[in-house]
Each structure stands twice: as C-alpha cells, then as structure tokens.
C-alpha cells in the first residue's frame, strides 16, 4: 500500500512524542492558590476540596517549603478573617490575616513569589465583592477600597496583586494608588475575564464567601459570552494590567484562545475549586484515573493559550513534569 503521509511515525515512542510536542509546560508557569485563616490552631481540611486546607500562618509556611522543594515558587493568598463587616475592613487592615501571612512568608521564605488576591467577598458580612448601596454593589464607591487592599498587601510583601472583584475601573484605581506610593514596579494580574460560574461552589465553602443574598451576575460575566471577555481584557490593558486572567479554565478554553489572540501580554487561567473537586470525586468513584486527568486538564489550558496556570494540583503537576509525564 502506497501511503506517503503517515502521522503515526511521530507517535511511535515517548522520545519522539516529546520531541514534536506542540504544547510545552514548565513549573515556572504554575501558581498554587492557598487559604489562610484567623483563629485556627492547626490546619483544617476543606470538606468540599479533599486534600486542601485552611491554613494557619505556621502551616502555610510549611506549605511554602513543600512547594519550593517541588520547584513551585509562586503562591496566591486568600484570607479568611475572624471578624467581618459591611466594608470588609479586615481586607485592608495592616495586621489582617493575609498581610500577616505575607510578612511571615517573606521573612522565612523570601524566594517565594507572593500574589495577593484583591477582593472583598471573604471579608464583607454580606459576602459581596464590594460596597453595598441598598442591595446593589456600588461600583465606583468600591474602587478606593480595592486600591487600599492592594496597597496594604504590597506593603506587607506581595510581589504582585490580582484584583478579582470585576468592578469597572478597578485596575486603573489600583495602578494609580500603587504608583502614587512608589510601587511602580509591582505588576497587576487582572481577573479580567471572570465568569459567574457554578465551578466556584467549593471555593465559597473554603473562603466562607457565599453571598448572603442574591448572586454575582451583575458584575461577573455571563457564561454565554466570548466577545465581552475580549472587551474586558482590552479595557483592563488600557487601565494598566500587566497580565490577563481567564477564570474558570477547563470549560472556557475557547475564551482563553480568543483572549490569547487579542492581547500581547501573558494570559493566565485559573483551574478553580469546582474543577479540582470534580477530579477528586471522579477518582474516588473509580470512574477516571486522577493523575491522567490532572495532566490532561492542565495540557488543555496551555494548549488553548495559557502562559500561566493557577491550580490546586500544582505540586502534583510538578511531580508529573519531573517524571516526564507532562510537558
């Protein structure tokens, strides 16, 4: 049989498959999201996210050490305070839970690159991502609070800030305040394309951040929309964003690809809590191979165009990269 083109020639063994692989993944692209909580004497496993924990500052330090040993040197921090109020004041408190954790991490593990999630939902008594005017989030009133949160995190040691609130104009407000305080070199990774997604369910248990009423669809994006996501990304670039994030990742590969085509800055994607829990549940039910699934989901995000990948499976992916099973 005269078959000239035989694509299988390049699939014959692991060596050649690795040589011609189109999507490359490295540990330097991975960020581990971590939760730190006030009032704990020991880490507490998150029921909806088996294997993930609300950390004490001390256990977070141990987590940081394990990440560095695995070759992961970037961590994003989410805080759970003991006290909440309508203004989310613990989010920008000098001695807030995230700020104190950042100081401790920078003191003991200075090589760990710290990213502060800038939002208010974990800190407000109503669970929304901004200041309320009646039962609506007041976009413009919220901006100065978000900027204060970002500044407080940078003053505590954050190397980067990542606003996740989805208020219009928040990147400009944060950039302006950071620059006014001589933090011109601190980058902003904007959650520019953040959907109102059901995949966030386990996170809301982890961070105690479920809204007390209503939902977040008036500020997070409609899952049906793609062009709007490109628009959000371009607007945030105009305001001074240095990286653009798409969230969630797994079900939004088409959006990652569109954003990647539209912007000339690094694109991050966040494999969120619901993706993590789905993998764990499928594996526990014996329905799928957990390790292969983790690799395949990560590869799909990078294949779509992600330069940076936030994942609760960062340590596992580091091991798979070391073993040559990925990348």
Active site residues per annotation: 194, 247
149 closest CA partner among 81, 222, 228, 55: 81
> Phi-psi region for residue 252, left (φ > 0), alpha (ψ -120 to 50) or beta?
alpha
| DSSP character string of 247-269 | ES-GGGHHHHHHHHHH-SS-EEE
Task: Give the rounded distance of the alpha carbon of 263 from its chain centre.
Answer: 19
* Separation of alpha carbons 129 and 189, rounded Å: 17
> Which neighbouring-strand residues pair with 162?
117
Q: HSE-up of 35 (CA within 13 Å, CB side)?
A: 25
- Identify which of 33, 29, 84 has the alpha carbon closest to the alpha carbon of residue 202: 33
Residues facing residue 34 across a β-bridge: 77
Strand partners of residue 118: 163
- Total Cβ atoms within 10 A of residue 8: 7
3-state secondary structure of 40: coil
**DSSP assignment string, 271-287:** E-HHHHHHHHHHHHTTS
CB-CB contact of 121 with 130 (8 Å): no
User: 318: closest CA among 9, 68, 144?
Assistant: 68
């Amino acid at each position: 049989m005269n078959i000239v083109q035989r694509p299988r020639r390049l699939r014959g063994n692991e060596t050649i498959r690795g040589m011609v692989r189109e999507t490359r993944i490295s540990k330097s692209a991975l960020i581990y999201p971590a939760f730190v909580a006030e009032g704990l004497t020991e880490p507490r496993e998150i029921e909806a996210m088996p294997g993930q924990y609300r950390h004490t500052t001390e256990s977070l330090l141990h987590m940081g050490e394990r990440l560095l040993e695995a070759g992961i040197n970037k961590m994003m921090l989410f805080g759970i305070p003991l006290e909440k109020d309508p203004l989310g004041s613990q989010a920008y408190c000098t001695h807030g839970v995230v700020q104190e954790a950042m100081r401790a991490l920078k003191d003991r593990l200075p090589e760990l690159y710290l990213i502060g999630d800038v939002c208010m939902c974990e800190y407000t008594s109503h669970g929304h991502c901004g200041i309320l005017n009646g039962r609506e989030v007041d976009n413009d009133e919220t901006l100065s609070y978000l900027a204060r949160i970002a500044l407080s995190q940078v003053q505590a040691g954050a190397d980067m800030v990542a606003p996740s609130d989805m208020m219009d104009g928040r990147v400009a407000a944060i950039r302006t305040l950071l620059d006014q305080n001589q933090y011109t070199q601190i980058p902003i990774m904007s959650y520019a394309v953040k959907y109102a997604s059901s995949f966030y369910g386990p996170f809301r248990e982890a961070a105690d951040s479920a809204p007390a009423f209503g939902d977040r669809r008036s500020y997070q994006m409609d899952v049906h929309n793609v062009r709007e996501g490109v628009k959000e990304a371009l607007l945030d670039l105009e305001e001074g964003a240095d990286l653009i994030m798409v969230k969630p990742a797994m079900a939004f590969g088409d959006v990652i690809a569109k954003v990647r085509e539209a912007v000339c800055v690094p694109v991050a994607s966040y494999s969120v809590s619901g993706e993590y829990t789905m993998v764990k549940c499928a594996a526990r039910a014996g329905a799928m191979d957990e390790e292969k699934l983790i690799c395949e989901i990560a590869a799909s995000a990078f294949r779509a165009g992600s330069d940076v990948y936030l994942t609760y499976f960062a340590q596992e992916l580091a091991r798979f990269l070391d073993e040559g099973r990925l990348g």
